[in-house]
Amino acid sequence: MLAALALAAPAWAGSSGGISASAGATSSTSSKSTFATVGPGHLGYRTLRKGMTGHDVRILQDFLTRAGYPTSIAGVFGPTTLANVKAFERAHGLPADGVVSKTVAAVLRAAVAKAEKAYAGPAGRAHLNSDGTVTPPANAPAVIRNVIAAANRIAFKPYIYGGGHGSWNDSGYDCSGSVSYALHGGNLISAPEDSGELESYGSAGAGRWITIWANAGHTYMYVAGLRFDTSAQGETGGSRWTSTPRSNGGFVERHPTGL
């Protein structure tokens, strides 16, 4: 995704690209002062706030996304970046002022490193319950558990064209509204996207935990090995969850970055 931006061999990236959680800090045998060797353009070298631009802003936006706060990587510290920084600060007991000090940058790096460790290794397979809901695998990270919990909440909601796009809480959801709702439950998307928009969501290819399939007319996804798809409702007695695979021909394969 951001191979051109990598400052060092990306420890995080794996097959999905991105900026390494260690990018911006020179290797050292001591970990006492992470930022002592950080140079210009690297996250933590300067305090970041709304209105600023630069490579370190792009790293900030990438790390926010990887920490569970989806942020467009544009290199401009705008309103969405500000809101996500504040949300991250609140979640980690920091003053929610939207200013990325060295302390905030260090906590963000730690959160990304923790997520990297949690996502390592093979993904477990979710269990399809007899009532049409799904139980996450024991090794699922919190973000996957939250996606599954959100998907369970609307698993039996009726299909309504355009449903879920005007409001997160709706009486019914269409295909992309359903996928967007579940992703939002894991804080992986900030606003509903239609199937065409989901064709460029996240990173290309299959994910370890989540793989989204989208084209101009339909979208669905696999979460921990099970399909979440409005087209399955007629086969399952009403649930969007199914263990039955389907043809992926004609669909673009995407996944949340890092997942």
Q: How far apart are CA 145 and CA 157, in angstroms?
A: 20
Beta bridge partners of 173: none
- Nearest CA to 175 out of 246, 99, 83 is that of 246
DSSP codes, 98-117? S-B-HHHHHHHHHHHHHHHH
> 38 falls in which pLDDT band (50, 70, 90)?
low
Give the range among 70-74, 127-131, 141-145 with minimum mean pLDDT: 70-74
Question: Please, what are the domains in the chain?
Answer: 3-119 (1.10.101.10), 127-255 (3.90.1720.10)
Phi and psi of 101, rounded to 5°?
A: -80, 180
Q: Could you give the C-alpha distances from 13 to 39, 120, 124, 137, in angstroms and in order?
A: 22, 11, 20, 23
The SS3 assignment for 83 reads: helix
pLDDT tens for residues 217-259? 999 999 999 999 999 999 998 999 999 999 999 999 999 887 8
Q: Find all residues with CB under 8 Å of 48, minimum gap 6, and list them.
A: 56, 57, 60, 77, 99, 100, 105
pTM summary value? 0.67
Quote the tokens at residue 36. 């002592």
Residue 100 has pLDDT above 50, yes or no: yes
**Phi, psi angles (nearest 5°) of residue 232:** -85, -10
